[in-house]
Amino acid sequence: MSSATVTIPEGLPDEVRLNPAKSLKALQGLIGFTLAAGVALAIGYTVDATPSKSQFWFSYLVGFTLALDVALGALFWNQMHHVTDAGWSVGIRRTYENMTRTIPVLAILFLPLAYNVVIAGNDAPWRWVPNDEINQADHLWKHKSGYLNPGFFVFRFAAYFAVWIGLSVLQRKLSTTQDATGAVKLSRTMRGWAFTGTLLLGVTATFAAFDLIMSLNFHWFSTIFGVYFWAGGMRGSLATLVLIMLTLRACGYLRHTVTMEHLHDCGKLLFGLTVFWTYIAFSQYFLIWYGNIPEETVWYLRRREGLWFTLSVLLPICYFVIPFFVLLPQKHKRTPQILGFAAAWILFFHLYDLYWQIMPEKLADPTRYGTAVLGDKVVEGLGRELERGPDVGVHWLDITSVLFFFGTLLSCTLYGMRQTPLIPIRDPRLPESLHFENELT
């Protein structure tokens, strides 16, 4: 990086830019599909007959969390490539930058949830929202109400989105400016911001996980939950990237700039994150099981009822065991069909994991509350756990919500791809990426 500017490498193929006409047609089709899913989701709100429209709001939350988790994972990977000053990954970094274009749109799509918390009150999926006589009699609600209250909840997410949007826009702006100027100093600037950005992203995303998912049941808490959320998000975003890269290569793009050498390394990361997610998931479960404290075990007990128990057993099998053995052989990580299957499998079961985290907290009937007797004390809030219905099964609103939010993510990503080259064409480390090879054994 000694030169002041960098020129575009000689012989860089035209495959680094999308065909304007074909990509526009694809974008229009994708936006149309996403809007159709959005209309169906809006219709679902009007026809939802569940008390307080709980089915709609929980479905909306699942789709929103999936898109947010993947977008934040992309922001994380973009920051980490700068922090580590990685050369091999320059070719895939621009796709992560384009995936983060979803974050400002998600800030807008968060507004219905914010309205629901502040205005609608009892319609919110979070059980700490109603300021009713039941919550007021709950000791834990009183203890946590300074943090879990509508105003502070919305304020926190305003701060989260300000950080996320600021980081994503800044890094993307610096990267595309370098495409035009070739200034080497911009690489150092991006790296400098990435150190601070990674810390800010880690803190804000951890608290967002607490707020979005963990606080659905404010009686339960886990200090490792933020890391659990992060582990899934990193896997989901990397799996999405692999699928996008394979799709672009199948359409004739990036065949000489993002090779199987790069995808092999993505497969290695997917494999490593599979083990990491399992380590975090087991650590959380084991510590809660060993402690055997009712306020902690209630979260897992809910997921041992009825069909939720079957889904709980399938989660480690499908999200760890199967991808572990599929990605273990070196040959599999270098075979596009197998790597693509593994990425699609992991992405689907990342959604499965989020569904498993969120949906058991949906009340079958929010108007029914019970009491639980612990020793000589009557605990109002904990009794709600005993009044749950099974509520197992995929509702059509769940599917519609996922299609809408993931379609939004893909639409924003494709829009970004049409605006700039598919790779950072004047990054000083691009030649290293173009000639990258794994040392195979």
Q: Would you give per-residue pLDDT tens digits along the chain (441 residues)?
A: 545 666 666 656 668 899 999 999 999 999 999 999 999 999 999 987 776 788 899 999 999 999 999 999 999 999 999 999 999 999 999 999 999 999 999 999 999 999 988 886 666 788 888 766 666 677 788 888 889 989 999 999 999 999 999 999 999 999 999 999 989 999 999 999 999 999 999 999 999 999 999 999 888 889 999 999 999 999 999 999 999 999 999 999 998 899 999 999 999 999 999 999 999 999 999 999 998 888 888 899 889 888 899 999 999 999 999 999 999 999 999 999 999 999 999 999 999 999 999 999 886 444 333 334 333 443 444 444 444 444 577 889 999 999 999 999 999 999 999 999 999 999 999 999 988 988 876
The pLDDT value given to residue 131: 65
Tokens 């990426």 — which residue? 433
Is residue 280, in this structure, part of any structural domain at all? yes
Is residue 441, in this structure, part of any structural domain at all? no
Is residue 10, in this structure, part of any structural domain at all? no
CA–CA distance from 121 to each of 114, 125, 379, 398 (Å)? 10, 9, 23, 22
Residue type, 208: A
Residue type, 282: F
**Cα dihedral 53, 209, 234, 114 in deg (nearest 10):** 50
For 102, residues 6+ apart whose C-beta sits below 8 A from its C-beta are 67, 70, 71, 408, 409, 412, 413
Q: Residue 255: give the domain boundaries.
A: 19-434
Which residues, in sequence order, are bridge partners of residue 378?
373
Is residue 8, in this structure, part of any structural domain at all? no
Is residue 406, in this structure, part of any structural domain at all? yes
Closest CA to 238 of 250, 228, 230, 227: 230
**Which two tokens mark 119?**
């205005």
Is residue 69, in this structure, part of any structural domain at all? yes
For 155, phi then psi, to 5°, come to -60, -45
Q: What is the pTM of this model?
A: 0.91
- Alpha helices by DSSP H, listed for 292-429, are 294-302, 307-316, 322-327, 330-333, 336-358, 396-419
Cβ pair 57, 420 in contact under 8 A: no
Is residue 302, in this structure, part of any structural domain at all? yes
Cβ pair 256, 13 in contact under 8 A: yes
CA distance 51 to 397: 15
Is residue 183, in this structure, part of any structural domain at all? yes
CA–CA distance from 298 to each of 177, 227, 305 (Å)? 51, 20, 11
The pLDDT value given to residue 280: 97
- Alpha helices by DSSP H, listed for 213-321, are 225-250, 260-291, 294-302, 307-316
Cβ pair 88, 436 in contact under 8 A: yes
Which burial class, exposed, middle or buried, applies to 325 when counting CB atoms under 10 A from its CB (0-12, 13-18, 19+)?
exposed
Which burial class, exposed, middle or buried, applies to 286 when counting CB atoms under 10 A from its CB (0-12, 13-18, 19+)?
exposed
DSSP characters for 142-166?
Answer: HHHTTTSSHHHHHHHHHHHHHHHHH
Cβ pair 260, 253 in contact under 8 A: no
Domain total of the chain: 1
CA distance 148 to 141: 8
Handedness of CA 388, 393, 396, 399 (dihedral sign): positive
The pLDDT value given to residue 80: 96
Cβ pair 61, 358 in contact under 8 A: yes
